[in-house]
Amino acid sequence: MQLDLTASSVDLTRAICDIPSVSGSETALADAIEESVSPLEHLEVIRHGNTIVARTNLGRAQRVAIAGHIDTVPINDNVPTRFIDVDGEPNLWGRGTVDMKAGVAVQLKLAAELIDPAIDITWMWYDNEEVAASLNGLKLLADEHPELFAADFAILGEPSNGEVEGGCNGTMRALVRTYGVRAHSARAWVGENAIHAAAPVLARLSEYRAKEVAVEGLVYRESLSAVRIDGGVAGNVVPDLCEIEVNYRFAPSKSAADAEAHLRKVFEGFELEITDFAEGARPGLDAPMAQQFVSAVGAQPRPKYGWTDVARFSALGIPAVNYGPGDPLLAHHDEERVPLDQIDAVEQGLRAWLT
């Protein structure tokens, strides 16, 4: 099927939200996007798996990459979309409206309409953002076609309430383990309870105070949280192992090595295994194109507390920001909804800057 790229950004948002594209099942939407942009003569269209790249080649002095993921978390009776009123303001309700098909809809409309932009544009719509990093379409594209990432600046359409959010925190997950000795629970004194031994770990987490770290004029809030506890053998056995999974969100001024060193200090005396991490991204707002963009959209930059794919651009030396409609607090929420005026405002902001 082809999408109607002459429709409003709001109607286009509804159309692509109503094409289910849970991570791993994006083919139908990727096909629709490819079929819709391929006839546009001003764009070179490249497909890699379920990632679609469309770019102008006008010989401009500068190029911007503008990206958005097309997958969503699982649907929970929140598709098809519908219009609702929230405190007197019209919203579009449904899975993907916030994270992040409203941003993708704006990008698709502008990709079709901006035949002669002031700067060259590389549009990227990619799959599998919501799942393991090894499946991420943007990562796979960068691994195999790094030349497509040549740009002076990048914008990711992640929900930011229509404001500019610079960079992102890094993230690290680790397992903290405590050990004991198995025994029959009727004779618990014969063993050592590994779950009880985890109490000091939980105490350290409870007493932990998150830092606020200034990075290039933006203040990032860190956090350290227990996100899972696993322990126990049977209902009548004293357990010999307990694992506490922790997630550390760290300011982009820290490297992954810095973050690991911090965790080992916090949990000194306990076994700790790093299981996953992703570096953060500095704001990059000192780049000339970033300053021009912020000025054009009239934004007051804020920090992005969560991790986003701006970090992939940052790792390639490309300053990147988050800019899209929708409240990040409603991402993945069963009441996911986006104000219609935010969709329009983001479209107008991007249009003003690109032309």
- In the sheet that holds 223-231, the strands lie side by side as 223-231, 241-250, 170-179, 271-278
By DSSP bridging, strand 153-156 and strand 63-69 are parallel
d(CA 205, CA 250): 15
Locate 106 and state its tokens.
Answer: 């704006």
Residues ≥6 apart with Cβ < 8 Å to 13: 81, 92, 97, 101, 102, 105, 338, 343
* H helix runs in the chain, sequence order: 9-17, 27-37, 102-113, 137-144, 199-207, 256-266, 288-297, 310-315, 340-354
Q: Phi and psi for 145 in degrees, rounded to 5?
A: -135, 65
Enumerate the active-site residues. 71, 129
d(CA 342, CA 338): 7
Which residue type does 84 have?
A: I
